[in-house]
């Protein structure tokens, strides 16, 4: 009799364990479904907010905006002063307020610059050789600024600021490279 009772209790425990396990699995699937729904909602909400902000994005003081953005990445307030702009390859040469650091902003990555330097020489290359991007010293600090580290609206504000600072018309820029040399 005790053996039968032990078997019934063991069977009941196994049966209820299976029921609980199936219930937990059903809850896990429901929670995963909710998580996916929340993620989709959040992404869509961000898209709507960015589209609204894209229409109203403004950069009233582009030099101040550039200084603030670069300061986030470089860790100190540079008090940037514009020295010169270049068209080919696009670059904006600045100096820190105390003239201790030279900063070059460009949409071209170090790999792009190396490709340009090693490319075929054309008659216009003599003018491009004056661009400081082609004569950067070894050990130049290079930083990339994008939406990930430059701010929520960086890719919307960058073309506006670049156009006003350099006079170069750009329709879309997603990142900018910062070359810092002492």
Is there a single domain that holds both residue 52 and residue 101? Answer: no
Provide the domain limits for residue 9: 1-56
Mean pLDDT over each residue of the chain, to the nearest integer: 85
Is there a single domain that holds both residue 82 and residue 144? Answer: yes
Is there a single domain that holds both residue 40 and residue 82? Answer: no
Q: Token match 């990142």: residue?
A: 175
Q: How far is Cα 149 from Cα 155, in angstroms, rounded to an integer?
A: 11
Is there a single domain that holds both residue 169 and residue 83? Answer: yes
Segment 106-116 mean pLDDT: 88
- Tell me the whole-structure pTM to 2 decimals: 0.70
The number of folded domains in the chain is 2
Is there a single domain that holds both residue 84 and residue 29? Answer: no
Q: Reply yes or no on whether the pLDDT at 152 is more than 60.
A: yes
Is the distance from CB of 142 to CB of 113 less than 8 angstroms?
no
Element (H, E) at 179: strand 176-181
Is there a single domain that holds both residue 68 and residue 157? Answer: yes
Is there a single domain that holds both residue 118 and residue 43? Answer: no
Is there a single domain that holds both residue 97 and residue 170? Answer: yes
Q: Give the pLDDT confidence of 57-82 residue by residue, as tens digits.
A: 888 999 999 999 998 888 888 889 88
């Amino acid at each position: 009799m005790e053996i039968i009772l032990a078997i019934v209790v063991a069977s009941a425990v196994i049966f209820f364990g299976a029921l609980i396990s199936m219930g937990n699995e059903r809850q896990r699937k429901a929670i995963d479904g909710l998580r996916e729904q929340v993620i989709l909602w959040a992404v869509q909400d961000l898209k709507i907010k960015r589209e609204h902000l894209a229409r109203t994005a403004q950069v009233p003081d582009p030099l101040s905006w550039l200084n603030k953005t670069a300061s986030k990445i470089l860790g100190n307030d540079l008090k940037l002063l514009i020295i010169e702009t270049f068209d080919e390859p696009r670059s904006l040469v600045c100096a820190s307020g105390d003239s201790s650091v030279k900063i070059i902003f460009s949409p071209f990555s170090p790999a792009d610059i190396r490709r340009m330097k090693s490319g075929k020489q054309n008659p216009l290359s003599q003018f491009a050789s004056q661009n400081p991007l082609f004569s950067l010293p070894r050990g130049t600090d290079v930083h990339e600024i994008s939406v990930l580290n430059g701010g929520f609206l960086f890719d919307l504000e960058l073309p506006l600021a670049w156009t006003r600072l350099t006079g170069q018309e750009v329709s879309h820029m997603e990142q900018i490279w910062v070359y810092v040399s002492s």
